[in-house]
Structure 1
Amino acid sequence: MASKLSSNDFGEQFLTCPVCMLHFRDARILPCLHTFCKQCLQEWAGKQDPLECPTCRTQVSLPDQGVDGLKTNFYVNNLLDFAAVKKGAEPGVPCQVCEGNMEASKSWCADCATLMCESCIAVHRKLPFSKDHEVTGEETLKAERDVRNFQRKRHCQKHKNHELVFYCESCNALVCTACTVVDHRPGKDHNPVEITSVAQVREKTLQRLLQEIDPRLKEIEASIEEVDRKMSKIIPSKDSATNQAKVYFRRLVDLLQKREKKILSQIEEQCRVDIKGLQSKKEAIEFGLAELTSAQTFCQQTVEHGSDVHVIEVGDQVQRRVETLLTKQLDLESNWSEFQFVENTSVVEFEKDVDNFGGLETDVDVSKCKVVIKPAVQGFRCVAVLTTMTKEGCPCVTNSKAVTANMADPSGTDVITKLLTKGGGVWEISYSPKVTGKHRLEVKVNSQHVAGSPFDVQVQSGDTPVLTIGRPGSGVGELNGPAGVAVDGDGNLVVVEQSNKRVQIFDADNGQPLRSFPVDGEKPYGIDMDSNGRFLVSSFGENCGIRLYSKAGELLITLKPDCVQDPTGVTVLKDGRMVVADKKQKSCLLLQPDGSLIREIGKGQFLDPRFVKVDESRDVMFVTDGSGHKIVAFDLDGNLTFGKEGKNDGELQNPRGITLDPTGNIIVCDEVGRVQVFGPDGTFIRNLATVKADGARGLGIALTQNGYIAVACFMAGCVELYRYM
């Protein structure tokens, strides 16, 4: 049954573990049929949960025995044996039993999988348990190229000296002759048959599968060739489209330049004509001025210096000349109005039209296009994201005129929508709904509805959570006593769980759990991220302290200086300093990155300090005082206290979580679940929401990168997100 293949038919790559890059050691097969060293798989499994195949990334469900339960790749082991035996037959290789006789001839015992010298073989043949073992001599070793002659014989784990020669179909297990007498006796519960017959049936099945594989391989190879053919067309297609686009836009530029030249010429001509006209008018006025000035001078000289005779002689003449000049009509008006350039088409209007100047036509398949509707909240800018796709399901760009989006509110009134291309075939559809309820969104490409269009978009009121993350429990994605919340550098939501004693990270867009890691301390409470993306977690109670964890969740350092007794909230400044609220000391502590005390803040101002947030732009820190029902703000000049106990807007009941928006407004949640917004000076602005989870007890809060307030609902075991910006 075995084919005549030699080790030369396989390169080193076939016998090399892809992880350690050495020859396989105890080769084990994963369900995806990729082979690795047993030890390599054990190390790999220790780093991952669930385990992924290092080669194809397929998730693997290990047997109950773990890696030990995976099947051994005996064929690879046989090839390695074959290579070792062929090398062992050469001079200079010691006997594997006596470790001597390096120059003597060697023989191979297939039953023991051992290379032995002539002396050891002679003894081996005389021993009762091994006298019938299959031994191959040196000459055969040197000439043999068939791997099957060097296969290790498989022996029963229970009966060590018995070879596995039967297969119990009822138990799906290989057994020896002794097993068929004891544990697998033929009958209604067991059906042992010879391995050869079972293998022949299995081999026929595999041969049939091999025949089915060939056509499939050809189909796949043809597909790859088709992909290669299309890939070969991409660059020429790109070059052609680029040249066409350049020609098109050069023509537009030429038209604009010609228009510019014409307008500038008109301006120049108008300027020349106006200057020439005004210059002629100026010359006429100057001539009249000269005449009148000359007559004035002559008349003045006659009056001031002339004798009576002279005055009588020229007086009439001067009088007539002056009177004539005074009555002479001169056009003293310039008759010119200032000219200016007028935008017949405004730049803003032109900018809107620019998106329609040319486009890229692709083979969009509307049935493959995808639309993701983001949570919609009344009065806020909301978006849906369209990805235009080819029939192969790949994103593709398309002409802006090809994409349209229209929305109507529950009454049928149109809602203004705007389309913005984000590149790579991704389009953002934005709108601002004025009412709540079910809206209808139509999205078309090339005048055809994309898959799923028209869409029903449920617009919620601002005090309704757009997303609830988690539910009570200790499993993946479940929450037990969520306390502090933060946002990491990737925009993910980070939640510290007091009861589960772990940090869990969620996708803030859809609430999907991404990963988690355990934390120390009896009651983990506050959490923040430093500038390097590491997690800082505070815990009070037994084994209290402030602990720094790496991005991967590894504990790096535990800070527990003498000044820290029961830390609750914590925040990290850009320079690495920390501000920690300490409920036992009823104050806040400003600490160096190494935990050493810089100064104590607010001693005597608190009854129950909980969470803290710092506005570094103004050097102001805000602290919630639970039992004091207030927020205390400290700066360089003193402190500002605002808030009083009550259920009305602007009043607080055991305030807990606190955060700031980009403008410096203060957002605070109290124990009864109200989320309120105050100005930087403490002036009440608005009531954002009241958490909806049953039995909710609002604790930590955070503002996400996409404009939502995340509220940890301690008793309800979830985090609710409300639209804020």
Structure 2
Amino acid sequence: MEAILNKMKHLNQISEAFLCCSICLEQFKTPKILSCLHTFCQQCLITLVEKSGGSLICPDCRQQHMVPDGGVPAIKGNFFMDNLIEKVRQLSKASEQKCDLMCEVCQKSESEATWVCEECKCHLCSNCAKVHQNLPATKTHSVLAIEEHKKIQTRPKALQAVDYCTVHLKNELKFFCETCKVPICTDCTIVKHRIPEHIHSDLTDAAKDYVRDMTAMVDKLKTKEREVESSEDETKDLLSELTVQQNTAVQKVKMKAEYMIQQIRLEEQNLTEQVHKSYEMKMKRASVAVDAVELQHGSIKSTCHYMETLMHHGSAAQLFSTKVDVEYRTQQLLAMENPKQEQQEKVEFHPHEIPPAHSILGVLKSDVCISQCSVQNVPKRLPKGDSVELLVLTKDSDGNQVVPRQPVTAKVTYPDASLEDITVNDNGDGTHGIMIHGQKHGKYQVSMAIGSQPIPGSPVSIPVVGGLVGTIGRKGSAP
């Protein structure tokens, strides 16, 4: 009984997942084992091969296998799994009955096993034991009560089912063919596995040797498992690190985007305020002009209406009674000048193609009043070899510094009369820098224009001198 309990203990350690097909997730039905040692239901493999167009790839390890000529049914069956499922089922039922063993012949839940057949190595109930002892084929078998069997066992072992030859169905497998690597019965040693072509050994002894080999292989596999487990941990750590890096990068992008959106909103507000400010005075002047035009128009319209009414409905005396006033008013209105549209500078929004550091969306550009523009930082003399940056200020008619709609251009005429275009740096705030390098001795003439109109004071003259620019002191040219 102790051996049976030990057997139950080991079987109870087998997980339910081990007995289930990983395709249908149910307990194996007609299990087939692949060369990669993964087991699946026969029907599940048939469906898998049909869906993949005839190829067989293990769903667990993705290893490809050859489908035999007989199809999936010709794949080796996993009889060990069949036997294991049956043992687990029997021992599970026995456990439910407080560890009372079931008869392995009739397999009735109420048939408690009280006998053991030592030849068949199976448990029997009282009725099956009587039948077992009366059958001609098993009449000579030794059938003992479980308690008696327990007493004569020096080292109790879990009972194993008898394995029979698949060719000679009634013969027990007792030998192992070392040549063919298959278990065989006595008849097989005479028919297909004859000596000396084939080498035989006792099946139990061969199994013991193979168990030792398998133990060594398991030890190596466990060592390999630990190495792979360590590599798995490193890979998971790498994946975790990559996830953190990804989240950090995404967070930085979001923070930058939020900052840019905030800056864009602020710039939008500033540009909108500038637009309103730029057009405020212009709209006031335009409104005053509209009022004046409307007043003049109303005066002419009312005078015409009065004169037309007088002509159609007034008497002769009434016509002449206002003759002087009518003629005077008519002459007065005709002498009035027609209102002229005052030209207003246009303000436009120009988006940046490549935004500079100080702006994102764009900049407002306006028509400039050329008379308000000027050039600053013009030196009286420029020592040869030095440089100076002229500053052009662009303003509108109200004197506000604005970015011009028209380009600012500059040209320099050197002392040798050669002419060259100079790059103008637009600072984006109504100021423009023009860099002059004093490389030649003599007078430099710098011409600047906005569009086609020259800037007041242009061209400016810059003498490039060598030696002393001036002297100071009592004998100098300046105090």
TM-score w.r.t. the length of structure 1 is: 0.37
Alpha-carbon offset, residue 229 of structure 1: 5.2
Change (3 A) 1:259 1:109: farther
2:73 corresponds to 1:65: no
Aligned pair count?
338
Deviations 1:624-662 (A, max 9, x none): xxxxxxxxxxxxxxxxxxxxxxxxxxxxxxxxxxxxxxx
Q: Equivalent of 1:201, from 199, 209, 213?
A: 213
Aligned counterpart, 1:246: 258
2:37 corresponds to 1:25: no
Q: Which amino acid aligns with 1:152?
A: A
Q: Equivalent of 1:210, from 199, 222, 225?
A: 222
Counterpart contact for 2:278–2:347, Cα < 8 Å: no
Say which one has the larger Rg: 2
Aligned counterpart, 2:463: none
In 2: Cα distance, 1:198 partner to 1:54 partner: 29
Alpha-carbon offset, residue 214 of structure 1: 2.0
In 2: Cα distance, 1:84 partner to 1:289 partner: 114
SS at the partner of 2:183?
strand
SS at the partner of 1:33?
coil
Q: Equivalent of 1:179, from 181, 184, 188?
A: 188
SS at the partner of 2:124?
strand
In 2: Cα distance, 1:41 partner to 1:113 partner: 34
Aligned counterpart, 1:86: 91
2:84 corresponds to 1:76: no
Change (3 A) 1:85 1:340: same
Q: Which amino acid aligns with 2:69?
A: D
Higher helix share: 2
Alpha-carbon offset, residue 343 of structure 1: 5.4
Change (3 A) 1:257 1:140: farther
Alpha-carbon offset, residue 106 of structure 1: 3.5
Aligned counterpart, 2:232: 220
Written as runs of structure 1 = structure 2, the 5 A alignment for 1:81-480 is: 81-87=86-92, 89=94, 90=97, 95-97=103-105, 102-107=110-115, 112=120, 114-121=122-129, 124=132, 137=146, 149-187=158-196, 189-193=197-201, 194-228=206-240, 230-231=242-243, 238-280=250-292, 330-336=336-342, 342=348, 344-345=350-351
Q: Which amino acid aligns with 1:158?
A: V
Q: Which amino acid aligns with 1:38?
A: Q
Counterpart contact for 2:106–2:128, Cα < 8 Å: yes
Written as runs of structure 1 = structure 2, the 5 A alignment for 1:563-642 is: none
Alpha-carbon offset, residue 210 of structure 1: 2.8
Alpha-carbon offset, residue 115 of structure 1: 3.9
Aligned counterpart, 1:6: 10
In 2: Cα distance, 1:256 partner to 1:117 partner: 95
Alpha-carbon offset, residue 31 of structure 1: 3.5
In 2: Cα distance, 1:262 partner to 1:206 partner: 82
Alpha-carbon offset, residue 220 of structure 1: 1.6
Q: Which amino acid aligns with 2:232?
A: I
After TM superposition, the structure 1 stretch with the greater mean CA deviation from structure 2, 282-291 or 333-342, is 282-291
In 1: Cα distance, 2:73 partner to 2:131 partner: 35
In 1: Cα distance, 2:89 partner to 2:44 partner: 22
Written as runs of structure 1 = structure 2, the 5 A alignment for 1:507-522 is: none
Change (3 A) 1:140 1:251: farther
Aligned counterpart, 2:461: none
Q: Which amino acid aligns with 1:30?
A: L
Q: Which amino acid aligns with 1:37?
A: C
In 2: Cα distance, 1:140 partner to 1:259 partner: 103
Alpha-carbon offset, residue 156 of structure 1: 2.2
SS at the partner of 1:247?
helix
SS at the partner of 2:350?
coil
Alpha-carbon offset, residue 29 of structure 1: 1.6
2:39 corresponds to 1:35: yes
In 1: Cα distance, 2:12 partner to 2:285 partner: 96
Q: Which amino acid aligns with 1:196?
A: K
SS at the partner of 1:254?
helix
In 1: Cα distance, 2:117 partner to 2:51 partner: 40
Alpha-carbon offset, residue 35 of structure 1: 2.0
Alpha-carbon offset, residue 245 of structure 1: 1.7
Change (3 A) 1:42 1:286: closer
Written as runs of structure 1 = structure 2, the 5 A alignment for 1:519-598 is: none
Q: Which amino acid aligns with 1:170?
A: T
In 2: Cα distance, 1:40 partner to 1:290 partner: 102
Counterpart contact for 1:97–1:120, Cα < 8 Å: yes
Change (3 A) 1:230 1:78: farther
Q: Which amino acid aligns with 1:160?
A: L
Higher strand share: 1
In 2: Cα distance, 1:112 partner to 1:323 partner: 143
In 2: Cα distance, 1:162 partner to 1:200 partner: 27
Alpha-carbon offset, residue 216 of structure 1: 0.7
In 1: Cα distance, 2:281 partner to 2:255 partner: 38
Change (3 A) 1:234 1:64: same
Change (3 A) 1:62 1:337: same
Counterpart contact for 2:168–2:187, Cα < 8 Å: yes
Written as runs of structure 1 = structure 2, the 5 A alignment for 1:41-60 is: 41-42=45-46, 45=49, 49-50=53-54, 51-53=56-58, 59-60=64-65
In 2: Cα distance, 1:177 partner to 1:65 partner: 29
Q: Identical aligned pairs, as a percentage? A: 22
Alpha-carbon offset, residue 95 of structure 1: 3.6
Change (3 A) 1:289 1:88: closer
Structure 1: tracts of 5 or more residues without a match: 295-303, 351-355, 358-725
In 1: Cα distance, 2:181 partner to 2:52 partner: 31
After TM superposition, the structure 1 stretch with the greater mean CA deviation from structure 2, 123-132 or 235-244, is 123-132
In 2: Cα distance, 1:236 partner to 1:214 partner: 33
In 2: Cα distance, 1:100 partner to 1:284 partner: 121
In 1: Cα distance, 2:156 partner to 2:33 partner: 20
Counterpart contact for 1:28–1:71, Cα < 8 Å: yes
SS at the partner of 2:158?
helix
In 1: Cα distance, 2:328 partner to 2:191 partner: 154
Counterpart contact for 2:102–2:109, Cα < 8 Å: yes
Q: Which amino acid aligns with 1:65?
A: G
Alpha-carbon offset, residue 16 of structure 1: 2.7
Alpha-carbon offset, residue 212 of structure 1: 1.2
SS at the partner of 1:211?
helix
Alpha-carbon offset, residue 255 of structure 1: 1.9
Change (3 A) 1:253 1:163: farther
